[in-house]
Amino acid sequence: MPVITSIDDLKRLYKRRVPKMFYDYCESGSYTEQTFRDNTSDFSRLRLRQRVAVDMTGRSTQSTMIGQSVTMPVALAPVGMTGMQCADGEIKAARAAEAFGVPFTLSTMSICSIEDIAAHTTAPFWFQLYVMKDEGFVDAAIERARVAGCSALVLTLDLQILGQRHKDLKNGLSAPPRLTLPNILNIATKPKWAVDMLQTKRRSFGNIVGHAKGVGDLSSLMSWTNEQFDPQLDWTKIARIRDKWGGKLILKGILDAEDARRAADFGADAIIVSNHGGRQLDGAVSAISMLPQIVRAVGDRTEVHMDSGIRSGQDVLKALALGAKGTFIGRSFIYGLGAMGQEGVSRALEVIRKELDISMALCGVQKATDLNRQHLLVPDDFEGAWA
């Protein structure tokens, strides 16, 4: 067993073990990837405030997200095609999250279906919904999530049209991969991935195949998005979905204080400050640099969560200190999944929990819920730079 000490260790293994097409899908931002890079580099502009001679016993990373108890405020983000990173990937990730005591969010664009996750887990999971033109499909997906016992609907608002990721086009990204010569040669160097994939029947978009009508090419996320996502999505349509669902609603992809206020007025249970991991509007600001402004804008009218750029427990600490009540990791758990399956997701969560815990101790903080801006050193221009 390799010694894993960081998310980066998992990423290195992941790169070796998973076909290039899926590694590239995970590791891309849109266009120039400026926002993708800023998401992580802006975290490193924040510094932690070292404190000494403070009793550091009795520490706890426990918290709540939308009223649900979590062993640390780090949920698994919805990630499309997770079941292509590793056979039955969503099931494995959901099981790791359940064992760890954090929420798992299933993407609409997953390989394993809502029903698959419900059949292989006992803890309620969260379902991420993309709004399609086909209302029948949307309503059925909501109903399926309800039947599966999902405890929150995460409605993504920043991907009604796809930001271009150059590598996906060049690689001909699809699920399952087409058996072209370059793909075959590359897959031949990933034997464990290939053997596991041959042994599962889950190799296409499980929430869509058999549930959607009139789509030209179901293997391609790009064509599905272009043909099916509803470009007219607005607050009236969001209200229709809220009413149809009737349960906890999280609005994902908010990056502007005005939109955040609107979401709070609307009564969202939480918002996720996010630029979709830098995969959508290239040139947008990093999520962490917008977080303080958005927290101020909504006050305590809705919970503020954030994703985009978290690769360590120190990053989680920084987000919590800037006012996030919860965080999400996407790539950080995908690296673990591709590297070592379910065990790798558990390792990723454990790495982050330990980093958070030790960093809290060295900042003189006993409870993750006590973190606040006092625990950070923030450069003067951190939020003002883009006013």
* Cβ atoms 82, 111 nearer than 8 A: yes
For the bound state, the minimum distance from the C-beta of residue 326 to ligand GLV, rounded and expressed in Å, comes to 19
CA distances (Å), 40 to each of 284, 285, 317, 349, in order? 14, 11, 14, 18
80 touches ligand GLV (CB under 6 A):
yes
Q: Which is nearer to ligand GLV, 202 or 318 (CB)?
A: 202
For the bound state, the minimum distance from the C-beta of residue 80 to ligand GLV, rounded and expressed in Å, comes to 4
x/- track of binding to ligand GLV for residues 101-120 (CB under 6 A): --------x-----------
Tokens for 276, please give them: 């979709």
Q: Rule CB under 6 A: choose which of 75, 152, 159, 294 binds ligand GLV.
A: 159
How many chain residues interact with ligand GLV (CB under 6 A)?
5
Alpha helix stretches (DSSP H) within the chain: 7-17, 20-26, 34-43, 82-85, 89-100, 114-120, 135-147, 166-171, 181-187, 191-199, 221-228, 235-245, 257-266, 287-298, 313-321, 331-362
For the bound state, the minimum distance from the C-beta of residue 72 to ligand GLV, rounded and expressed in Å, comes to 24
Q: Which is nearer to ligand GLV, 262 or 276 (CB)?
A: 276
Q: Which is nearer to ligand GLV, 14 or 100 (CB)?
A: 14
Q: What is the DSSP string of 105-152?
A: EE-TT-SS-HHHHHHH-SS--EEEEPPBS-HHHHHHHHHHHHHTT-SE
Question: For residues 260-289, which are near ligand GLV according to CB under 6 A?
Answer: 276, 279
How far apart are the C-alpha atoms of 311 and 298, rounded to whole Å?
26
* Cβ atoms 46, 73 nearer than 8 A: no
Q: Annotated active-site positions, please?
A: 276
142 touches ligand GLV (CB under 6 A):
no
252 touches ligand GLV (CB under 6 A):
no
For the bound state, the minimum distance from the C-beta of residue 370 to ligand GLV, rounded and expressed in Å, comes to 34
Tokens for 202, please give them: 């889950």
Q: Which is nearer to ligand GLV, 79 or 285 (CB)?
A: 79
Contact residues for ligand GLV, defined by CB under 6 A: 80, 109, 159, 276, 279
